[in-house]
């Protein structure tokens, strides 16, 4: 029984250790959850005020977008700023999970163009769908019943979103920016405690196209830039150290040419 008693003690010690680790992890997650919620309240208050003020000011900002099939349009104007919040329910309470600051960039130009190949028509539909661009498509079939021509009428407004998503377990907040710098998607990751008033001020300046340090903020982004810089330097150093191909002198070049010439002459 002595051996069994030793095994029992080891099992109990292991259970106690696992319980301690679980409790410690739960405490950390709970602390991170509360930190993210606190930051979310700050972000929500700031962006709600920003949306209200921008809808009143109606600033003269013009943005340019390249739309495939049509070309560049440089007089899109932001309007209709808004903030929405998606929540999760824990117990009897609702907690913010995702926040989206959104607006539209609109132009008075009519965006209409045609496509005449089935594969081009399908490709353009996919492109417009991926970029959240509303459109109407009138299709015309040939004698064989195949779509041979399509007219696209694209809505003259582009939706722009700044989407904040919470990572409660790791106390991080993800920001996805869509259709702001062209029809693109840019992702950013921040420690929750990095999102302070300074960050929000720089974000607001960035949205209004004023001088801003937004792109420089965040340890995650800084690490990516540093890794890219080191990779670029390493590539440049490797290129500089590569041995150059030996230069042939004029005599050798001429000799090679004349030898080839002799081989084809009678």
Q: In a structure prediction context, what are the per-residue pLDDT tens digits for the chain, which is 266 residues long? A: 677 677 777 777 777 777 766 665 656 667 888 899 999 999 999 999 999 999 998 888 999 999 988 899 999 999 999 999 887 777 777 788 899 999 999 999 999 999 988 889 999 999 999 998 999 999 998 888 888 899 999 999 999 999 999 998 899 999 999 999 899 999 999 999 999 999 999 999 999 999 999 988 999 988 988 888 888 888 887 777 766 666 655 555 555 544 554 555 55
Cα distance between residue 40 and residue 218, in whole Å: 17
What DSSP character marks residue 194? G
How far is Cα 103 from Cα 83, in angstroms, rounded to an integer?
9
Distances 131 to 121, 165, 174, 185 between C-alpha atoms, Å: 16, 20, 20, 9
pTM: 0.76
What is the residue extent of each domain of the chain?
Answer: 8-109+156-237
> What is the rounded CA–CA span in Å between residue 266 and residue 255?
18
State the Cα–Cα distance between residues 157 and 76, nearest whole angstrom.
8
For 217, the token pair is: 């903020």
């Amino acid at each position: 029984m002595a051996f069994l008693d030793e095994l029992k003690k080891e099992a109990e010690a292991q259970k106690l250790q696992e319980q301690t680790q679980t409790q410690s992890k739960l405490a950390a997650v709970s602390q991170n959850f509360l930190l993210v919620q606190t930051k979310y309240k700050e972000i929500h208050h700031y962006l709600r005020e920003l949306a209200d003020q921008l809808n009143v000011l109606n600033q003269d900002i013009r943005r340019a977008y390249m739309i495939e099939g049509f070309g560049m349009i440089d007089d899109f104007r932001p309007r209709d700023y808004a903030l929405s919040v998606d929540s999760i329910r824990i117990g009897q309470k609702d907690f913010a999970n995702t926040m989206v600051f959104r607006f539209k960039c609109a132009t008075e130009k009519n965006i209409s163009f045609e496509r005449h190949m089935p594969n081009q028509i399908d490709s353009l539909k996919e492109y417009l769908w991926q970029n959240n661009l509303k459109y109407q498509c009138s299709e015309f079939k040939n004698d064989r019943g195949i779509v041979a021509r399509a007219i696209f009428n694209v809505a003259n407004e582009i939706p722009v979103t700044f989407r904040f998503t919470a990572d409660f377990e790791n106390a991080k907040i993800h920001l996805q920016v869509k259709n702001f710098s062209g029809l693109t998607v840019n992702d950013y990751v921040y420690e929750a405690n990095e999102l302070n008033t300074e960050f929000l001020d720089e974000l607001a300046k960035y949205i209004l196209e004023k001088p801003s340090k937004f792109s420089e903020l965040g340890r995650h982004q800084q690490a990516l830039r540093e890794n890219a810089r080191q990779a670029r330097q390493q590539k440049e150093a490797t290129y500089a150290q590569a041995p150059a191909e030996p230069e042939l002198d004029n005599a050798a070049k001429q000799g090679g040419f004349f030898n080839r010439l002799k081989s084809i002459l009678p």
